[in-house]
Structures are given as structure tokens and as C-alpha cells.
A = this chain, B = another copy of it.
Amino acid sequence: MDPYAIGVDLGGTNLRIAAYAGGKGFLEVIELPTRLAEGRDRVVRDLCGAVKKLEKRYSGLYEMTGVGVGAPGPLELPDGIVRNPPNLPGWDGFRLREAVETGLGRTIELENDANMAALAEQKLGAGYSHGVESLCVLTLGTGVGNGLVIRGAIESGMSGMGGEAGHIVVNSAVDAPTCGCGGAGCLEQYASATAVMRLAKERMGELAPSSARALAGLARTGDPAAAGVFQAVGRSLAIALAGLINTLNLPLYLVGGGVSEAWDLFAPMMFSELRRLSYIYRLTEPADLYSSRFERHKTYIQRAELGSTAGLLGACVSAMGERKGVLVEMTVVAE
């Protein structure tokens, strides 16, 4: 029988559970609301129930390799204890791994959801397209997510709490905007969708449109205030990326999430500031920034290839077997 895995993307709003077979893509995706109001045991019961349902349906047809779960951070690993999660209020200290493993009667692969998304990009997305085993993903959504994959495996540090590059300081001024993390001047305050709207209001007052997409449209018509917001996004990304490139020297950095749709508006500033701020980038800048054929020892910064299912895909892939090496017979899934 061909192998398949079950992946779970546990979000603050939605709970998605999928059966996935290499070479076939998703066999089935179950989407449920995350019933936080009914308590964490209820959410875990919903999760385990859906996994068992998929298992019952597919384990006669395929051979199950495992179950992967991506959850919002911070998540202390390997124990799988949830720590002050902004998106799972009331879950602080919850022993998520224990609860799910008890519910399922089997061990699981558990990781921060942003790291699961990065794993998917490496195994099935841009990393796969380019044959790259190490990459860093910045996801510009409501917040700024981050995942790191090195030599084909998620690198989440001593206790699973790495991958928070969204909280790199990009504005060191004393009056820098405070961040939900308790710090100030974080990348998240300049490059998330929330930040883009705040910057628009600061610069345009009541003339600021009500969505990041509308703001991008306005910037494309030549509105200087709207364009300035995306230049601030580009500059903040450059400061954070310069630090990452200088420290890690990875071949590929991906920018995803809703704000990345304004790539044309922020990328020119991002690249020009990056050239100024990182001499490692200057030494390794590729001749063709967007090439699909990678030159050896060059630093590429491109848009993420997988969309909002990256986390779910990564959870599936994490349970497909050997995580330290490159997975074989894995094919890109069309969304």
C-alpha cells in the first residue's frame, strides 16, 4: 500500500485536518471551527475525532505513516506545552502533546505552525522548485510568522521557541510603536497587515482606505502616501533580512502572507536597503533576483509559493517519515 499521513493545522479560528498521500496530494480536508469558548478539551476532542474519522476512511487504502500537528506558538518542545499563546487564550501551560497523544492513542509530530509552513515550502514549495534544503519564511499576515528549515529539518531551537523573527527590532527609536509581544519596534509593527493599516492611518488620516489591498491599489495609481507605507514595509523587511542573512547565510528567504501580494510595491525598497545594510547580501546577490534556476552560493529572496494551506501541508509532510533528510517521492500539490 502507498503511504499517507494525517496533518492538523490548529488555528485560533479554524481547525483543519487533512489526509495526504505523496504523489496524490490531499485525499481529504476537514475544516471545523476552533471552539475555544467550549474549552481546550473540547477542541482536542474535535481534533482527535476528525483524525480518527480520516484514519478509518483511508487506512484500508493506504498505509498511515503518522500524524503531524501544527499549533500556534510559543510552544515548548519536545513536551508540547503551550506558553502564553496570543491566539489560544486560556491555553497557557496546556500540555497539548499529552492531550492529543492520549486522545489518539499514538505519538504525534508536533511543531509551531509557522515552522510547519516553512517545512512545506522546503519540501513542496519554493525549496522543492529550487532544490534548496535550507530556507527561512516570513509570513506577513495579521502578525508576522517565521519558520526556519535547515538541511531539510525544522530548526526551532532548544525548546521549539525559535522562529520568531517577526519580533526582530527594526525600529530602535525610544518612541517606536509597542508590539503585542511586549517589546517595541518589532518587524511585526511594520510589515504585518495590521501594521500596514496603522501606517496608512498615521500617514493618510481619514483618507486611509479600509483594507491593505485597497491601499496597494492606491499606491499603484501613484499616491505618494500610500506608496510610502509599502516603502516602510520594504525598509523594515530589509533590516530584519540583513540580520538573518548576515547571521545565517541561507540560500533562500521567502516572503508570504497577505501583504506579500504588494511585493511589487515593497520589493524595490527592500532590495535597495538590503544591498546597503548587508555586505553578505552584496557579496552573494544573484544576477537574476527571480530566477527559477538557482546559482550556487547566491542569496535569493522571493515570494512564498504555497498559500494558506502551507501550515496544513507541512503538518502532513512532517509525519511522512524521515525528517532529517530530503523526502523522496513527494510532489507539489496544486491548490
Assuming the contacts A158-B250, A297-B76, asked whether A168 and B280 have C-beta atoms less than 8 A apart, the reply is no
**Complex Cα gap A83–B279 (Å):** 11
Give the residue of B148, B170, B184 whose beta carbon is less than 8 angstroms from that of A247.
B148
Assuming the contacts A158-B134, A170-B172, asked whether A282 and B182 have C-beta atoms less than 8 A apart, the reply is yes
**Complex Cα gap A134–B157 (Å):** 9
Stoichiometry, copies per complex: 2
**Complex Cα gap A169–B236 (Å):** 11
* CB of A277 closer than 8 Å to a CB of B: yes
The chain B residue sitting closest to A76, CB to CB, is B297
* CB of A122 closer than 8 Å to a CB of B: no
**Complex Cα gap A166–B242 (Å):** 11
B242 contacts A167, CB within 8 Å?
Answer: yes
The chain B residue sitting closest to A163, CB to CB, is B247
Nearest-Cβ distance from residue A141 to partner chain B, whole angstroms = 17
* CB of A146 closer than 8 Å to a CB of B: yes
Give the residue of B83, B156, B182, B247 whose beta carbon is less than 8 angstroms from that of A168.
B247
* CB of A244 closer than 8 Å to a CB of B: yes
* CB of A152 closer than 8 Å to a CB of B: no
Nearest-Cβ distance from residue A54 to partner chain B, whole angstroms = 32
The chain B residue sitting closest to A81, CB to CB, is B297
- 0 or 1 for each of A61-78: is its CB under 8 Å from B? (1 = yes): 000000000000010100
Name the B residues within 8 Å of A83 (CB-CB): 283
Name the B residues within 8 Å of A248 (CB-CB): 155, 157, 162
Nearest-Cβ distance from residue A75 to partner chain B, whole angstroms = 11
**Complex Cα gap A184–B172 (Å):** 13
8 Å CB interface, A159-207 against B: 159-173, 181-185
A167 contacts B283, CB within 8 Å?
Answer: no
**Which of A170, A184, A185, A247 is the most central at the interface, judged by chain B CB atoms within 10 Å of its CB?**
A247
B173 contacts A279, CB within 8 Å?
Answer: no
* CB of A302 closer than 8 Å to a CB of B: no
Name the B residues within 8 Å of A251 (CB-CB): 158
Q: Can you list 29 A-B pairs with a CB-CB distance of less than 8 A?
A: A74-B279, A74-B280, A76-B297, A84-B279, A84-B283, A134-B158, A146-B247, A150-B150, A157-B249, A158-B297, A159-B249, A160-B249, A161-B249, A161-B283, A162-B249, A163-B249, A164-B280, A165-B243, A167-B242, A167-B246, A167-B277, A168-B243, A172-B173, A173-B173, A182-B279, A182-B282, A184-B276, A244-B247, A247-B247
Q: A residues bordering B, Cβ < 8 Å? A: 74, 76, 83-84, 134, 146, 148, 150, 155-173, 181-185, 239-240, 242-244, 246-251, 276-280, 282-284, 297
Nearest 7 interchain pairs by C-beta:
A157-B249, A162-B249, A164-B246, A159-B297, A168-B243, A183-B277, A181-B279
